[in-house]
Chain A
């Protein structure tokens, strides 16, 4: 039941003042600028852009500041802002092969054209707190002063290499180059690309609907599901054929001129997985693909997205659908952090009338219970059906 609650303006205004005070923290400590967040907390910014479904590092940084670092709240802020924007058009599918690669690994082969480029990654760090970062801009750290020169010399040597690498990185590598073993990535002619911001997902879902939902889905939820499939709730253990992160050009058709122009670059993480698949008897056993693409640098999410893209194709590929990660309605209906936090947090709102209604029901049920105990033949409505009809408000 919906009931409206009025009043409380003064208390709400006071609550907002307290928020602002806590957000500022100790005034003796310098105020944090949006630019500092954008530049120095870039992975938080990337996560907010990815789940907020809007690429704008400045606004994502602002949202993080406003939400005091609560990323789910920041995602909500960005998602709400997104709805206010006029849409100028659809960009062409981003050519990730032409990406200015900042990191790229292929796990199926040691030597791949273009090589294994570690780039910035925490994978090979020792996970020990670095006390030096607490110092004022590295005042105490002198170790890099001698190393800097060598690095510059090396830069010149690698300049020629880098061009050759750039062209090698355009091609599929490792297992993806084995077109005889991997299912082709063909464009299906089903017309318009689905847009879940305009029309809700219909089940059974299409792959484009799933990928758009997963691309804005909650990293934790997607990773948990991905983890579940690897631990046995779905029997999935793929190979990462390629994982890359870098800058990709956005190409938009300018409506006034009807020509395609680059309008800038976005940073993206792309993950391509291959999964041994043998259930479809119409084709020889082969590798099928999972595909993940996320805004910003988010490898856990890109991998999870690729895995779930594939597990959600179970029915299409003739596999038994038995686990949560294979159930599109389960995954897509629950992967959005804005939707999830909305329903979970609504429990904090006043429920005075609902509770009074339920109390009345409870006293009726208790009276019926007492009667049933006193006279075993007494018939009343099944308490389970009554409580079920009460669920939700």
Chain B
């Protein structure tokens, strides 16, 4: 599945919310974490970092090739109600991976119980990521250029 398809997904699929939790800035996760009731949990896999090999494709649709690696931190937790939260996040920020895994478990708990304590947080993260992307697009748009060509007029004789 391509990244765009994931980006267009509603935040109610696991792919969608896991993507948002990875993309959202850590400060946002911390802010929301500070406002909720913290669940008891145990580490299934404490946050650890490693790498993922990135790939490109010739002309976007052609042969794939390895581009180079990127650091990735992963984490797995199980909250007291049994849900298992998983996170894979670019970079080496263990707090980001841990909070993303916890939120992943909490969203699942929401879905099981039919509650909506975490769903609004995911929606807020989505707005935050969208706004950041929108801001980049807008400032880039300001540098849109229209080069014009000066041609010598041909006078028919």
Contact = CB atoms under 8 A, between A and B. Distances in A.
Do the two shown chains form a genuine complex with each other?
A: yes
A247 B57 CA distance: 16
B68 A251 contact: no
A170 interface: yes
Contacts, number: 267
B154 interface: no
Contacts of A59: 71, 92
Contacts of A202: none
Interface string B90-126: 1110000000000000000000000000000000000
A contacts with B: majority SS: mixed
A254 B51 contact: no
A154 B1 CA distance: 36
B137 to A, nearest CB: 4
B142 to A, nearest CB: 6
B59 A291 contact: yes
A246 to B, nearest CB: 8
Contact of B62 (A87, A187, A252, A264): A187
Interface string B53-90: 11111111111111111111010100000000010111
A90 B143 contact: no
B26 to A, nearest CB: 11
A212 B66 contact: yes
A250 B68 CA distance: 12
A87 B63 contact: no
B69 A96 contact: no
Interface residues of B, number: 61
B155 interface: no
A95 B3 contact: yes
Given A87-B50, A254-B86, A262-B19, A55 B3 contact: no
Contacts of B12: none
Given A102-B136, A117-B140, A215-B67, A264 B91 contact: yes
Contacts of A216: 68
Contacts of A266: 54, 70, 90
B68 A263 contact: no
B151 to A, nearest CB: 12
Interface stretch (A10-18, A156-164, A370-378): A156-164
Interface in A104-161: 110, 115-119, 151, 154-155, 158-159, 161
B138 interface: yes
Contact of A98 (B2, B55, B63, B92): B2
B128 interface: no
A256 interface: yes
Contact of B68 (A54, A96, A97): A54
Interface stretch (A23-31, A64-72, A188-196): A188-196
A218 B145 CA distance: 32
A272 interface: yes
Name, among A172, A251, A272, A289, the residue most crowded by chain B CB atoms within 10 Å (CB to CB): A251
B76 to A, nearest CB: 7
Interface of B: 1-4, 6-7, 14-15, 18-19, 22-23, 48-72, 74, 76, 86, 88-92, 133-134, 136-149
Interface of A: 49-50, 53-56, 58-59, 82, 85-98, 100-103, 110, 115-119, 151, 154-155, 158-159, 161-163, 165-166, 170, 172, 176, 184-188, 190, 193-197, 207-209, 211-212, 215-216, 246-252, 254, 256-257, 259-266, 270, 272, 289, 291, 293, 295, 309
11 contacts: A54-B71, A55-B71, A98-B2, A188-B63, A207-B63, A212-B66, A251-B1, A256-B76, A256-B86, A261-B14, A295-B68
When A and B form their complex, which 5 residue pairs have the shortest distance between CB atoms, in order from nearest?
A185-B59, A264-B90, A185-B62, A249-B3, A262-B19
